[in-house]
């Protein structure tokens, strides 16, 4: 299950980076280019991906 969470988290981070760069007008070629809303959504996706990655990497409690 941790592997699945890490894969989804990685995809969230990558998509977030792309959306952030498009929203900041750094990565052209899309309807999202230059739209501040997509920069914010991309940042939120990145943060969610990082949180999920950290959650999946934590150790289980000792018994």
Question: Measured between alpha carbons, how far is 49 from 3 in angstroms, rounded to an integer?
Answer: 13
Please give the share of the chain, as a percent, with pLDDT higher than 90: 70
- The pTM score is 0.85
Question: Measured between alpha carbons, how far is 9 from 50 in angstroms, rounded to an integer?
Answer: 7
pLDDT digits (tens, 9 = 90+) for 16-28: 999 999 999 998 8
Nearest to 42 by CA among 54, 58, 26: 26
Helix (H, G, I), strand (E, B) or coil at 55: helix
**Domain ranges (residues) in the chain:** 2-57
């Amino acid at each position: 299950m941790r592997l699945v969470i890490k894969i989804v988290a990685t995809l969230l981070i990558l998509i977030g980076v792309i959306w952030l760069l498009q929203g900041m007008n750094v990565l052209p070629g899309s309807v999202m280019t230059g739209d501040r809303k997509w920069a914010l959504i991309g940042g939120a996706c990145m943060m969610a991906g990082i949180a999920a990655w950290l959650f999946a990497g934590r150790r289980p409690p000792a018994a």
